[in-house]
Amino acid sequence: MRVCVNLLGAEQWFGGDLDGMINLVRLAERRGVDQVVLPEHVAFGDDLGGYPFGEFLGARDSPWYEPIVLLAGIATATESIRLATGVLIAPLRPAVLLAKQLTTLDILSKGRLDIGVGTGWHKAEFDACGVSFDDRIGQLDEQVRACRALWKTAPASFEGKYIRFSGLYQRPAPRQAGGVPIWFGVPPSAANFARIAEIGNGWLPMGLSAEKLAENVTKLRKAFVARGRDPSTVGIRHVLMPASGVKSNADLASTLLEAKGWVDAGANIIEMYPQMFCQRLEQFEDFLDGLLSLKKMDRCR
């Protein structure tokens, strides 16, 4: 059983000082947290409607740092904690550039990168970046496949509807064998599970009950088997939201009691937002005590 912290909103404890954020991750690493997660939004329009997972955790003028850059800073200040996104809105970047960025970060971190990718939900963000919102799912699929091609061979070629190149040399390759592990933050569907089984390493489910998660984890594992992959290697990172539904100063103890149900449903990484349970920075270590208690759970199926 592994645990991770998502730093969404934690910058408020430091007045936006990124040194404080990095020191927070160093503390989490010393205490034994397995992974740190950064969210992403590039920009917001006036209307934040359309968020598909309930109440959106943020505001138009909230500070959002570019995660690849910030994770690079965290990489140089840490040694063992794994680095992740939840999620990187990958279609907003050219595929060849994204492949190079992720390779560089993986090498800089000595192979500690797990990239979570998704298609986003905010149309104004895509419009501002000059990227088609309606075609974002197809673009994401091709983007990951193009990255895999660039990481595998040189010269590399790829021919798709949105991405095309031939004879490209992009070296070095990522430090991790097979390239950077890619986790998809996508809704449950046969097509998405096939995509994860073909070119991904894990799934980032959102907005599901424990019962629905269990049903869909079974389907995802079957998709891995159908493609000759070991189903026990499927990564499932679940966000443990406050049991009370309150998004600030929530009860940590009652929330932790719900973790076993999600682990039994198939989650092998539990992710939590410390700012939902800590009113001030001084409470962070108590939060870590609770989060780390989850690592004692038996994750065997």
18 or 245, higher pLDDT: 18
54-71: average pLDDT: 88
Q: What is the pLDDT of residue 296?
A: 86
The mean of the pLDDT values for the chain is 94
Instruction: Indicate whether 120 pLDDT > 70.
Output: yes
Look at 43 and 296; give whichever has higher pLDDT: 43
What is the C-alpha to C-alpha distance for residues 14 and 19, in angstroms, rounded to an integer? 8
Does the pLDDT at position 257 exceed 90?
A: yes
Per-residue model confidence (pLDDT) at position 268: 96
Evaluate if residue 301 carries a pLDDT over 90. Answer: no
**Sign of the dihedral defined by the CA atoms of residues 46, 49, 51, 57, in that order:** positive
pLDDT of residue 267: 97
Stretch among 92-101, 110-119, 174-183, 272-281 having the lowest mean pLDDT: 272-281
pLDDT value of position 258: 95
96 CB-side CA count, 13 A: 14
- pLDDT per residue over 191-212, tens digit each? 999 999 999 999 999 989 999 9
Say which range, 214-218, 243-247, 291-295, has the weakest mean pLDDT.
243-247
4 pLDDT more than 70: yes
pLDDT for position 300 = 40
Mean pLDDT of 113-125: 96
Q: pLDDT confidence of 59, banded at 50, 70, 90?
A: confident
The residues spanned by each domain of the chain are 2-227
Which pLDDT score is estimated for 299? 46
User: Hey, what's the torsion of the CAs at 211, 215, 221, 225, to 10 degrees?
Assistant: 160
Q: E strand or H helix at 239, and its extent?
A: strand 235-239
Mind listing the pLDDT tens digit for each residue in 141-171?
Answer: 999 999 999 999 999 999 999 999 999 999 9
CA contacts within 13 A on the Cβ side of 102: 29
Residue 245's pLDDT band (cuts 50, 70, 90) = confident
Residue 57 confidence (pLDDT): 76
As given in the structure block, the two tokens for residue 41 are: 């939004």
CATH number of 2-227: 3.20.20.30
